Amino acid sequence: MDTAPPSTFRLTEFSHGGGCGCKISPSVLREIIARSSPGIIPRNLLVGIETADDAAVYRINDRQAIVATTDFFMPIVDEPFDFGAIAAANALSDVYAMGGTPLFALALVGMPVDRLPVDTIRRILDGGESVCAKAGIPIAGGHTIDSVEPIYGLVAIGLVDPAQIKRNRGALAGDALILGKSLGVGIYSAALKKQKLPAGRYETMLATATQLNTPGIALGPMKGAHALTDVTGFGLLGHLLEICRASAVGAEIAFDRVPLLPDAAALANQGLVTGASSRNWASYGAEVDGDFTATERALLTDPQTSGGLLVACSPDAVDDVLRAFRSDGFDRATVIGKFVAGPPRVTVDPGRAAPIAGQASAA
C-alpha cells in the first residue's frame, strides 16, 4: 500500500475532515444563502450569490472586470507541501471557472501553532506558493490565526473581459456536457486516511488535484461554450444540478462515459468513501433519476478537491472545447452527456446517452 511521503506525523489526524469534503452540505448552504439579506447590489456587480456561482465579478470598465473568490480547507493529505499545493490549485480553479485569468492571491492560514512545527507550516505555504508560481502570479499578502485545526487556502483575484464571463447558467437544451478531469479524489483521500490507497495512487491523486484548470481561459471567449463551473465538494451531480437550476434545463449523463481515476470504483466498492458523499446525496438525491448502483452513486457524489471543469457547449463547439483541454494536458476531458428541455433534474443512464455532434472526438 502507498501513503503520503514520510513525515513525523500525519496532518490528516489534526482535522475532522479534509479538502472540499469539509464543505457544508448543499441543502444547508442553500438554506443559509436563501435567508441572507441581498444587501447592497452595485450596478457593476455582474456576478454575486444569486446562482451559487464560482466567484464574484465586478466590472471596472467595458473591457475589464475583477474576479474575486476564496477557498480554504483542512488537510486532505499528510505531506505539508502537497497540502498547500492542492489547496492553492483548488482556490485558483474558481477564477478559471469564470473564464478569468488569475492576477494575484492572498494566503489564508490557520494553524495550531503549539502543535505544528514552524517548519511544517512553512512547507504548507511553500506548496501554495509553488502552484501560484506555475499560474504566474504572486501571493501578495494574507492573514494568519492560531487555529485548533490546520487550515490553508487563498483569496484569488483575477481579470476577465465582461463580455467573456462564463457563468454556471446559460446551458441550453441540446448542449453537450463535458467534464475536464476524472472523478475519485474524495475516494482516494478516504483510502489514504485509512492507509488503504494502492501503490502509486498517491502520485495520481497529487497530479490531478494540482493540475490547474487553465482551459477556462480559452473557454472564456468561446461563444459556443455557454456555461462553465468546476466540480468540487458537492460532487459531479451537485455541481451539475447547479447549472441545471440556474439554466432551467435538465441533464442526462451516460455513466460509462464518466472518466474515473484508476481504482476509484474498486475502492468505492470497498466502502472507502467520505462522509460528504452521503451528505451530498441526502441534499439532492430527490432531484436525480436513473438506475445505478451504490458504487456508481458514491462516484457521482464524491467530493472533488480541485476537480475538473464542467462545460455546457453547443454540439458544433465540442471539438473546439476538447481541443482547449487537450492543448493544456487534460487528456481525460470527455463528453459525458447532454442538456435537455425540462425541469432541473439529472438522469443517469448506465449505458451511453444518445449521440451528439462531436461526441466521437471525446472517445
Q: Which residues have a catalytic role annotated?
A: 20
DSSP state of 55: S
Please return the burial class of 195, using the count of CB atoms within 10 Å of its CB with bins 0-12, 13-18 and 19+.
Answer: exposed
22 Cα distance to chain centroid = 13
CA dihedral 289, 29, 97, 64 (to 10 degrees): 140
* 219 to 83, 99, 214, 271, 313: CA distances (angstroms): 28, 6, 9, 37, 10
Closest residue by Cα to residue 168 from 116, 113, 234: 234
The rounded distance, in Å, linking the Cα atoms of 28 and 344 is 19
- Antiparallel, parallel or unpaired: β 56-59 and 65-73: antiparallel
The rounded distance, in Å, linking the Cα atoms of 361 and 256 is 16
